[in-house]
Amino acid sequence: MIYAFINPALLSERPGGAAPLPTPLLREAEWIPVTGWGEEELLHLPAAFTSWLVLHHGAVVITPDGQEDPAWSRLTLETQRSAELALNLAFQAARHIGALRQLGTEVALVERHGSPLLVQITHPYHLRQATEEAARELAEWIEESPFSTQLRLGWEGETLYLLPRELDKASAVNYVLSHLDPAAELTVGVGRHEEDGAFLALCDYALIPGEELTETLNRSEDPE
């Protein structure tokens, strides 16, 4: 069995939502999405994911039977509760910055299991300049706040996120890797966003779609 950990944003970036399948290797693989999106955004893609799901920047792990992994959910909920005040104030700060700078950004506080999970900042007309200015202002706010060790900024395509530092894609992918069939032949990571680098490094191969496909062997070879 070959497992491919793929950022599904790559599917929506291609014309018609066509899947980036540059090699027979991926055609034979079982795909596991690793994304900042939630369940609803994933449903808009033409691809069918039937294995594990890593959602909300690694905060949520869904098992192959379609249920949220209980052990991972407990860890995430602990993080949510410890960061609740920071996330609520970050939500207010993001709204204030958008209004003060007249950026036209839309800010949402995403909750899960009754507690704040992350802050999401978008622009209705996809103006990257506006969300990038919001990111600069929020980075300064985080640095000057008491929450500099608790919160971080992240991107998923054109969407800006503010979330607890303990939540990241690589940690969730590492957790899923520990639960895969030990007989798995190969793991492949597919992505090209900045945040994808850490989880790509956990896989045997990293595939970075672009004008030309870059294929990197991550598994270190013993010269002997």
Per-residue model confidence as pLDDT tens digits over 149-192: 999 999 988 899 999 999 999 999 999 999 998 888 899 999 88
- Shared domain for 155 and 88, answered yes or no, is yes
| Domains of the chain: total | 2
Q: What mean pLDDT is reported for the chain?
A: 88
Residue 88 and residue 92: Cα distance in Å, rounded?
7
State the residue range of the domain holding 34. 2-75+168-217
The answer to whether residue 205 is domain-embedded is yes
Q: How far is Cα of residue 108 from the mean position of the Cα atoms in its chain?
A: 17
| Helices (H), ranges, the chain | 9-13, 24-27, 39-43, 70-82, 84-100, 128-144, 169-177, 197-200
Q: Which CATH number fits the domain that encloses residue 112?
A: 3.90.1150
What is the CB-side half-sphere exposure of residue 29 using CA atoms within 13 A?
23
Report the C-alpha gap between 95 and 114 in whole angstroms. 21
Residue 224 located in a structural domain: no
DSSP H or E run through 207: strand 205-208
Boundary residue ending a domain (140, 164, 188): 164
Burial class (CB in 10 A: 0-12, 13-18, 19+), 224: exposed
Q: Which among 186, 193, 187 has a CA at the least distance from the CA of 208?
A: 193
Question: Is the same domain home to 127 and 149?
Answer: yes
Report the chain's terminal Cα–Cα distance, integer Å: 27
Residue that wins the pLDDT comparison between 77 and 221: 77
**Quick one: pLDDT at residue 196?**
92
Q: Quick one: 156 and 100 in the same domain?
A: yes
- Asked whether 188 and 204 are in contact (CB, 8 A), the reply is yes
Residues 28 and 92 in one domain: no
Better-predicted residue by pLDDT, 45 or 93: 93
Residue 215 is predicted with a pLDDT of: 42
Pairing between β-strand 53-55 and β-strand 205-208 as defined by DSSP bridges: unpaired
Residue 11 sits in a domain whose CATH number is 3.40.50.1000
157, 187: one domain = no
Q: Say how far apart CA 4 and CA 194 lie, in whole Å.
A: 18
| pLDDT tens per residue across span 140-152 | 999 999 999 999 9
Measured in degrees and rounded to the nearest 5, phi and psi for residue 125 equal: -110, 15
Identify whether residues 17 and 52 lie together within a single domain.
Answer: yes
In a domain, 14, yes or no: yes
- pTM, whole model, 2 decimals? 0.87
